[in-house]
Amino acid sequence: MSASQRLRRRYVDGLRREGAITRPEVAGAFAAVPREVFVADGFHGRDGTWVPADGDGFLESVYTNDVLVTKIRDGRPVSSSSQPSLMAAMIEGLELRPGTRVLEVGAGTGYNAALMAAVGARVTSIDVQADVLGRARAALARCGAAGVLLHEGDGYDGYAAGAPYDRVIVTVGVAGASPRWLEQLAPDGFVLVPLRHAGHHPVLRVRREPDGVVHAAGVCPAGFMSAAGPLSAPYPSAHPLPVDPLPAATVARPARFDPPLDVFRYHDLWFAVGAWDGRATFAQLAGAPSESGCALLDETGVGGAGIAPDGSIHATGAHAGAYSERAAALLDRWVTSGEPAVPAWRAAMALDGDPDRPIWVPRGWHLTPQP
């Protein structure tokens, strides 16, 4: 057994323990597809340094549950191999079967497409970046992946020539779903998309019902790089965009959770705060716990209140007292509602954004009974 195979076995075991992989065919795909082939030129480490393929610890780093950034433009990541646990959760969420026709918006390194193909899907993957597609095409050829077609194009437009698709999976954060994706779906198909919500990108399942109404349902917490263009167009009811760190808190409320919420439960809270309050976004307050980010931004844009994973509240600005109370009320509401997770939420969707290239965005999140 090669070093890569040994590391892949440990990697799959870890994803199973986390609960990211529950289906044997998905475990088989992660065990079979060599991730290192898709980052053969190297990648950027967490500290920003370049990790070359011939560097010490390269293979061990590849088989960690971490995003591997492969391209940066103007200081911002624009292509990567996503966090494996998130990739696994999304692939399982697609409910793939042999022969399932999938449109992937955002080819990235090609690794995600190779995993879906290993499950038996027929994948059409599009990306607007020609160089990214070239590297993905070469990697897919090197590992002998079959059942993947790559095309250069704008993700908003999908790829009508390959329609209909049973599934659409989007691998970049967007503000709304393109109508083209829904138009290119087969009956009973759905879109799995990381859709911007209160400063982060939880994964939603979007489908058109027989009566023509478009609905969104929460799937799982997530974080993705943001798309450009009409897929990230602003619209009137959108949450404020993430902001730079706010000044140190002048009003604080004590911790509520011991131990603090883990990252998944914290994002469950964050989703609920965003569903109930249009001022929710991502913001870090100076002096607040570094792992926090869920915040209410006041109307001045330079104050508000943040909620940390331990339930403590840190508020700043001219309206610190009022926003501290507002954040505490939302925290109370989440607790008394049974601490709902992301999959408990549903919303109808409406067209908004750029009038010439509109997007479907959620309207009025509500909780649904969970088993």
Burial level of 246, CB count in 10 A (0-12/13-18/19+)?
Answer: buried
In single-letter form, the type of residue at position 233 comes to: A
* Residue 80 bears catalytic tag: no
In single-letter form, the type of residue at position 118 comes to: A
Instruction: Give the span between the Cα atoms of 229 and 36, in whole angstroms.
Output: 31
DSSP 42: -
The SS3 assignment for 196 reads: coil
Instruction: Give the span between the Cα atoms of 46 and 77, in whole angstroms.
Output: 12
The SS3 assignment for 232 reads: helix
In single-letter form, the type of residue at position 361 comes to: V
Instruction: Give the span between the Cα atoms of 192 and 22, in whole angstroms.
Output: 18
CB atoms within 10 A of CB 83: 18
Instruction: Give the span between the Cα atoms of 82 and 225, in whole angstroms.
Output: 10
Q: Which residue has the tokens 């070239």?
A: 134
Q: Which residues pair with 151 in a beta bridge?
A: 126
DSSP 34: -
The two beta strands, 313-316 and 251-253, are antiparallel
Q: Which is catalytic among the residues 80, 82, 226, 312? A: 82
Contact between 299 and 323 (Cβ < 8 Å): no
Instruction: Give the span between the Cα atoms of 173 and 330, in whole angstroms.
Output: 26
Residues with a known catalytic role: 82
